[in-house]
Every structure is written in structure tokens, then in C-alpha cells.
């Protein structure tokens, strides 16, 4: 890559608006679309979504688990989703939430961030809960290849606070994660490539969410998050927010035009964040 992920994301959202569509082909959605819960159904679903939304939105976020459950044939579909989304002009954020140590962490970096891999994406989600330093191979790979990382920080799931709100000598675990991201993004223009995942339905936080990097915010829309919530939770850092939703868009299928229209409606709804 000739530019950093942070710079590419800033350009993409300026052009297409700040919205990330999750591609989550779980069994219930396949059934809603009248598709079988098999590889053929997965392929029809995922590629229809890509055809409809990848030319429209800034970021497409396939959830790897829903492809992996079908084995190698499902991963082959995921490879097509990555390639065709990028060909249509969308950035691809692969939702894998990987986190490990040493050579295993390096292997994940090679799989998802090295352009030689068929799964190479613009960015991936990662977990820092083996210690932030365990992510160093992925940080190094992101810098080498112009890719990005979104690090779990303050998630909306009810189990999250028992780890993320736990206190260390210097503050909370989540606060420590955010501190690391601030250091990684220091001095980056227009913003850094190392982002945080912060749920739209966390209610509120005392943490400083200004990390000079993107803030992936799942939970917008069908899960309850609103533009008002984003303004309240993120304050001045709202300019860094990338709202993410899947159900609000995917339930409009299987008609590609309806899917594209649903995505545009969300783009229009969150445009107010820039006002």
C-alpha cells in the first residue's frame, strides 16, 4: 500500500460517508432470504450483499466465523467477498478478533494483512487480552503493509465489563488499551491506523476515547444505538466514529436494490455526525 489505512479510511468516509456494513450470514438470515444453510446459500447471500453495498459504503466488514463454519469451501467464499468488495471500491475490515502470542500472532498477521494472502484485508479486529504487547507482530505487519487494526476496548456484550472495567495500577484495562492506541497513533495525519472497538450501547464511559485513530462502533441501529448516543458517548471524539450495523441493511435483502437503498439510508442518517 502506498498510503496508510488511516489515510485511506479518511478518504473513503469523506467520499462515501461514515458507515460500515457487517456481512454476517448466520443461519437465521439465510432462512429469512429463503436460502439453505449450506455453502450455496452462504455464497448467494454474501455475494449479493457485496454486489449491493460495496459500491455504496466506505467499509464492508465480513464476520469470518460465519464463513469458517462451512470449512474450506466457506473460506473460499470469504476470499471472494474480500476481493470483490475491494474491487468495488470498499475498504474491507475482516472481523476475526484474533489474539495470540509469538509465532502464532505473526501467522495471523501473515494471513490477514500480508498482500500475498488471499484473505489480505485493509484492516482486522484483534483482541488485546493476552497483553497489548502480544499484538506487536500484527502492529508491525499493519505498518509494513499499510493496513489497520481495530482493538477491542469497550464492547457492548454484558460479559465485557468484568475484564474491560477491571482496574490496574494505572487505571482500567480498557483505559490501558486506549493509552496504547494513543501512543501508536501519535502524530499521524489525518488520523492513525490503529483503532478501538467501542460499542454504541455501552451507555457511557469515563474513559478518554480520543486516540487519534478510528473508532469502530458496532450496535448502531437495530441493536439500539442512535446518533444521539454516539454524540453523548464520544463527545469531541465523535469525528473519529465509524458506525457499524448489519441487520439494518441485511434484512432488506435479497433484492440488491433494496439492500443498497437501506445502506444509503443509514449513511444519510449518520451524516449528521459531521455537522
Nearest-angstrom CA–CA distance, 145 and 164: 30
- Quick one: pLDDT at residue 273? 81
Verify whether residue 61 is a known catalytic residue: no
Please list the rounded mean pLDDT of every run of 10 residues in the chain (275 residues): 90 97 96 98 98 98 98 98 98 97 97 98 97 97 98 94 90 96 97 97 91 95 83 93 94 97 95 77
- b vs e for 190-211, b when ≥16 Cβ sit within 10 Å of the residue's Cβ? ebbbbbbbbbbbbeebebebbb
Q: Exactly one of 80, 86, 97, 145 is catalytic; which is it?
A: 97
Does an H or E element contain 52, and which?
helix 39-53
* Helices 72-87, 39-53: inter-axial angle, 10-degree rounding: 10
Phi and psi of 214, rounded to 5°?
Answer: -70, 150
Residue with cell 472495567: 165
Cell digits for 135? 499484538
Q: How far is Cα 217 from Cα 239, in angstroms, rounded to an integer?
A: 12
Q: Mutual orientation of helices 39-53 and 256-270 as an angle, nearest 10°?
A: 50
**What is the pLDDT, as a whole number, of residue 275?**
61
- Phi and psi at 150, nearest 5°, equal -115, 115
Written as one string, the DSSP assignment of 128-155 is: -TT-GGGGHHHHHHHHHHT-EEEEEEE-
Q: How far apart are CA 40 and CA 123, in angstroms?
A: 27
Q: Which residue has the cell 489480505?
A: 120
pLDDT value of residue 168:
85
Amino acid at each position: 500500500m502506498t498510503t496508510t489505512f488511516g489515510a485511506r479510511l479518511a478518504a473513503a468516509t469523506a467520499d462515501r460517508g461514515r458507515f460500515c456494513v457487517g456481512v454476517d450470514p448466520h443461519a437465521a438470515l439465510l432462512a429469512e432470504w429463503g436460502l439453505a444453510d449450506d455453502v450455496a446459500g452462504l455464497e448467494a447471500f454474501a455475494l449479493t450483499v457485496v454486489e449491493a453495498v460495496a459500491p455504496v459504503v466506505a467499509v464492508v466488514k465480513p464476520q469470518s466465523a460465519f464463513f469458517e463454519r462451512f470449512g474450506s469451501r466457506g473460506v473460499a467464499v470469504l476470499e471472494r467477498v474480500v476481493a470483490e468488495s475491494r474491487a468495488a471500491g470498499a475498504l474491507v475490515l475482516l472481523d476475526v478478533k484474533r489474539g495470540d502470542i509469538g509465532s502464532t500472532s505473526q501467522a495471523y498477521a501473515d494471513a490477514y494483512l500480508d498482500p500475498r494472502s488471499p484473505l489480505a484485508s485493509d484492516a482486522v479486529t484483534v483482541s488485546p487480552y493476552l497483553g497489548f504487547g502480544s499484538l506487536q507482530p500484527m502492529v508491525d505487519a499493519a505498518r509494513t503493509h499499510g493496513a489497520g487494526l481495530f482493538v477491542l476496548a469497550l464492547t457492548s456484550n454484558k460479559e465485557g465489563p468484568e475484564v474491560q472495567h477491571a482496574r490496574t495500577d494505572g487505571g482500567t484495562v480498557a483505559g490501558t488499551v486506549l493509552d496504547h492506541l494513543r501512543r501508536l497513533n501519535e502524530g499521524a495525519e489525518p488520523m492513525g491506523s490503529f483503532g478501538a472497538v467501542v460499542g454504541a450501547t455501552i451507555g457511557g464511559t469515563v474513559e478518554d476515547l480520543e486516540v487519534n485513530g478510528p473508532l469502530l462502533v458496532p450496535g448502531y441501529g437495530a441493536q439500539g444505538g442512535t446518533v444521539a448516543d454516539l454524540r453523548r458517548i464520544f463527545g469531541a471524539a465523535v469525528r473519529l466514529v465509524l458506525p457499524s450495523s448489519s441487520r439494518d441493511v441485511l434484512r432488506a435483502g435479497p433484492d440488491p436494490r433494496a439492500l443498497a437503498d437501506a445502506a444509503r439510508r443509514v449513511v444519510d442518517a449518520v451524516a449528521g455526525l459531521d455537522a
